[in-house]
């Protein structure tokens, strides 16, 4: 997925929000993606890199290692699936995506991963 630096369009689209009501949403005038205007704001990739570092520390104290290569793969997959795009995504879907990717690479439960996000 190509990175777009996203720039709000001067005009907005009427789109439904989570409760079904219509609201004006800005969208990116370069790639057309709609901005997430809910209170469930997406976070930058750095936030998830920190979560992964904390999870790594926790597991290392218990004798389980996550290699640098594994961490790189996890973050790469996270970004390639569009989860790093804090302009358009909600934190809830980032958290879900991050958790699913981590458990594919590391033998831990979803519950444990969620505790570090």
Q: Is 108 in the site for Zn ion (CB under 5 A)?
A: no
Q: Is 4 in the site for Zn ion (CB under 5 A)?
A: yes
Smallest gap from Cβ 33 to Zn ion, in A, equals 5
CB half-sphere exposure, 44, CA atoms < 13 A: 2
**Given the complex with Zn ion, which of 12 and 105 has the nearer CB atom?**
12
- Total residues contacting Zn ion by CB under 5 A comes to 5
CB half-sphere exposure, 62, CA atoms < 13 A: 7
User: How much helix, strand and coil, in percent to the nearest 5, is found in the chain?
Assistant: 40, 15, 40
Return the residues of window 9-38 that contact Zn ion according to CB under 5 A.
28, 30-31
Smallest gap from Cβ 91 to Zn ion, in A, equals 19
Are 71 and 56 in contact, with CB atoms under 8 Å apart?
yes
Query: What is d(CA 84, CA 58) in angstroms, rounded to the nearest whole number?
Result: 24
Smallest gap from Cβ 24 to Zn ion, in A, equals 18
Q: Is 6 in the site for Zn ion (CB under 5 A)?
A: yes
Footprint on this chain of Zn ion (rule: CB under 5 A): 4, 6, 28, 30-31
């Amino acid at each position: 997925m190509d990175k777009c630096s996203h720039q709000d369009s001067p005009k907005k689209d009427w789109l439904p929000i989570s409760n079904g009501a219509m609201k004006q949403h800005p969208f990116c005038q370069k790639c057309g993606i709609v901005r997430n205007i809910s209170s469930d704001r997406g976070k930058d990739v750095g936030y998830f890199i920190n979560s992964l570092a904390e999870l790594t520390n926790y597991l290392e104290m218990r004798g389980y290692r996550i290699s640098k290569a594994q961490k790189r793969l996890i973050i790469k997959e996270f970004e390639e699936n569009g989860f790093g795009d804090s302009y358009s995504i909600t934190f809830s879907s980032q958290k879900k995506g991050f958790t699913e990717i981590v458990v594919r690479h590391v033998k831990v439960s979803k519950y444990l991963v969620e505790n570090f996000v």
